[in-house]
């Protein structure tokens, strides 16, 4: 462990405030009333303005809900982002309308950012930085990013949390939790969707995200893991500067480039966009199945093509942690898809996870059932694999046997869905499920043997 890693880890071990989600006082009561009033008013205005015909009413209601999210502030913008990034779980009109929540939000004044930095780091801005830009480079629901130059001349960026955002978001979560529990008592759809569980999951994510020491520690670990096999030189994660970071401030190496969804620009400047995607997915898959800690929010704003030609993963506020038993399962799945098509090890891994009933049959039988369950998303002999859909099918497979879909598998599948969308634009002929390059460090001997037997030359890095 490096000195920087030790510092970041020590800070992440400090006490993290975890306010009780179930608490409901006057502030929460007042906020609940405000939420109902704002959302109801926004929906009514959109419906009246857009017309009352059924064909238009669903779109108008969805737009009104998002108007309400934007008016209610960061917590509801985050909820909109969650809906936008999980379109299969919500009505399409609402998921499409929530795409607005992915846009930058208005920034807060630079003078407030300076006060937060000075309060967290205990020194005046002029002593900490040679330069500090009061105009943010970007602004999101929880924080905004300012350019700066460290005292030793290194260019950097500082992520600064919005003033009083933690208190406001916790109040909103408590109000949303109370509303979700009420909905579960009155609506079968809300019970099936586990509305209270959705809010509780959002609470857990938010508590971790609001303490930037957690993000710093995750980013340091991910950066170290990236070089574990001595390759991945064409993928970058910014270095964290822990001496300039705190609970509400995160300082890191400055990088410049293009977001991954600038497809035309990327095709114009990168000689091999397909290799760009392959390198990113390779590094990310290794983080899932080898290291266990993986980036859990790979939307295009967090993946860049840098000016020097490298790909970059940014913003580790949301990460997934794949436990060893689930890593074994995912490894078996990828081995079947890329190496030999044998689902019996997948069945054994599911059995270890207690997702297979005792009388369900032997591994060969379960393997055949798995292949049948995955048939709609396979092409030929595992020639093409839509991994986002595979994750969904496997979750359904587990639920039919009385097991809930694990959050880590759901989060993994969501990220693979993002990567597949980028691949459609930048690498339309690429077949993720059988690309041996992705698994070079996961199954080194098998990949080397199969590549030699089939005369496949893998990229050097």
What mean pLDDT value characterizes the chain?
83
State mean pLDDT over 213-230.
Answer: 96
Query: Which candidate, 398, 422, 123, places its Cα nearest to that of 280?
Result: 422
Confidence of residue 378 (pLDDT cuts 50, 70, 90): very low
Phi, psi angle pair for 343, to nearest 5°: -90, 0
Contact 78, 142 (CB under 8 A): yes
Phi, psi angle pair for 11, to nearest 5°: -70, -35
> In this model, does residue 379 exceed pLDDT 80?
no
Contacts of 459 (CB under 8 A, 6+ apart): 275, 278, 279, 437
pLDDT at 397: 59
State mean pLDDT over 282-293.
Answer: 96
3-state SS assignment for residue 385: strand
pTM of the model: 0.80
Sole residue written with tokens 């041996």: 436
Maximum average pLDDT range among 212-221, 316-325, 405-414: 212-221
The DSSP H or E segment spanning 184 is helix 165-186
Question: In the numeric block, which tokens belong to residue 122?
Answer: 């205990």
More confident residue, 391 or 343: 343
Question: In the numeric block, which tokens belong to residue 251?
Answer: 């300082």
Confidence of residue 380 (pLDDT cuts 50, 70, 90): very low
State mean pLDDT over 299-308.
Answer: 93
Q: What gap in Å lies between CA 452 and CA 448, rounded to an integer?
A: 6
Contacts of 434 (CB under 8 A, 6+ apart): 337, 338, 382, 383, 384, 385
Confidence of residue 9 (pLDDT cuts 50, 70, 90): very low
Q: 157: alpha, beta or left, given left = phi > 0 and alpha = psi -120 to 50? A: beta
Number of helices followed by number of strands (H, E) in the chain: 19, 13
99: Cα separation from own chain's centroid:
15
> In this model, does residue 123 exceed pLDDT 90?
yes
Contacts of 25 (CB under 8 A, 6+ apart): none
Long-range contacts from 367-371, C-beta under 8 angstroms, 24+ separation: 367/342, 367/343, 368/343, 369/397, 370/343, 370/346, 370/394, 370/397, 371/343
Contact 124, 118 (CB under 8 A): yes
State mean pLDDT over 189-205.
Answer: 74
User: For the chain, what is the largest distance between any 2 Cα atoms, rounded to a whole number of angstroms?
Assistant: 70
pLDDT at 73: 84
Query: Over pLDDT 70: what percentage of the chain?
Result: 83
CA dihedral 40, 41, 42, 43 (to 10 degrees): 50
Check residue 240 and report its DSSP letter. B
Contact 373, 420 (CB under 8 A): no
């Amino acid at each position: 462990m490096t000195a920087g890693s030790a510092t970041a880890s020590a800070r992440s071990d400090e006490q993290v405030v975890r306010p009780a989600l179930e608490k409901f006082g006057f502030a929460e009561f007042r906020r609940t009333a405000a939420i109902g009033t704002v959302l109801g008013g926004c929906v009514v205005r959109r419906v009246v303005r857009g017309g009352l015909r059924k064909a238009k009413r669903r779109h108008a209601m969805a737009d009104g809900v998002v108007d309400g999210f934007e008016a209610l502030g960061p917590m509801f913008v985050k909820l909109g982002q969650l809906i936008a990034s999980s379109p299969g779980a919500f009505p399409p009109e609402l998921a499409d309308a929530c795409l607005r929540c992915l846009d930058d939000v208005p920034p807060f004044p630079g003078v407030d950012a300076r006060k937060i930095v000075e309060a967290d780091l205990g020194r005046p801005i002029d002593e900490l930085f040679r330069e500090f830009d009061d105009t943010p480079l970007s602004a999101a629901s929880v924080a905004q990013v300012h350019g700066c130059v460290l005292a030793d001349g290194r260019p950097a960026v500082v992520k600064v949390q919005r003033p009083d955002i933690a208190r406001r978001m916790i109040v909103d979560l408590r109000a949303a939790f109370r509303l979700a529990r009420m909905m579960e008592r009155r609506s079968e759809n809300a019970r099936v969707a586990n509305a209270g569980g959705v809010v509780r999951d959002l609470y857990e994510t938010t508590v971790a995200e609001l303490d930037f020491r957690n993000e710093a520690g995750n980013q340091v670990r991910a950066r170290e893991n990236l070089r574990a096999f001595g390759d991945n030189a064409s993928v970058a994660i910014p270095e964290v500067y822990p001496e300039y970071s705190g609970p509400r401030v995160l300082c890191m190496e400055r990088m410049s480039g293009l977001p991954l969804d600038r497809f035309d620009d990327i095709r114009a400047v990168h000689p091999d966009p397909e290799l760009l995607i392959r390198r990113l997915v390779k590094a990310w898959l290794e983080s899932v199945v080898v290291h266990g800690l993986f980036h859990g929010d790979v939307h295009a704003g967090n993946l860049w093509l840098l000016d020097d030609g490298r790909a970059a993963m940014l913003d580790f506020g949301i990460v997934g942690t794949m436990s060893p038993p689930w890593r074994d399962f995912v490894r078996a799945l990828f081995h079947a898809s890329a190496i030999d098509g044998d689902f019996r090890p997948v069945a054994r891994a599911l059995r270890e996870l207690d997702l297979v009933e005792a009388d369900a049959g032997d591994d060969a039988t379960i393997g055949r059932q798995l292949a049948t369950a995955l048939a709609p998303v396979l092409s030929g002999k595992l020639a093409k694999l839509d991994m986002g859909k595979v994750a969904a099918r496997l979750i359904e497979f587990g639920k039919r046997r009385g097991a809930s879909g694990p959050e880590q598998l759901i989060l993994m599948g969501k990220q693979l869905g993002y990567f597949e969308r980028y691949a459609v634009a930048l690498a339309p002929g690429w077949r993720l499920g059988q690309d041996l390059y992705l698994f070079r460090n996961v199954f080194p001997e098998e990949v080397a043997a199969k590549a030699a037997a089939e005369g496949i030359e893998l990229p050097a890095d």
